[in-house]
Amino acid sequence: MQKPTNIQLIGPEVAIVWNDGVESYFTGEFLRAASPSAENMGERDVLGRQIGGDPRTSFPGVTVLGWKQIGNYALQFEFSDGHRTGLFSFDYLRRLHDNPDQPPKAL
């Protein structure tokens, strides 16, 4: 698993340097749309069907205000629209970096 060695807020972007030297830059709008929270992605019912979730695919003007590291595996971002419930695992963030043209909800 790739892990961040440095995380900074540079203007409107979150910059992550990974332990293999790769650098990722994510806007707050992109990360907000990609939030893996139940509020954003929905949940699965007892039959495995996807229910709920925010139907919006973009969040214009949303910025990252801060973040905290969760254990040795994830980041939790605080967004300017008040959202702060999704845990972005390091693996998920790296997949977002590796597949920037894929809709975040498809990852």
Q: What are phi and psi of 79, to 5 degrees?
A: -105, 155
pLDDT digits (tens, 9 = 90+) for 68-82: 999 999 999 999 999
Query: CA-CA distance, 83 to 13, in Å (whole number)?
Result: 17
The yes-or-no verdict on residue 20 having pLDDT over 70 is yes
CA end-to-end span of the chain: 17
Write down all domains in the chain, each with its CATH number in brackets.
Answer: 4-100 (3.30.2020.30)
Q: Global pTM?
A: 0.83
Contact 18, 78 (CB under 8 A): no
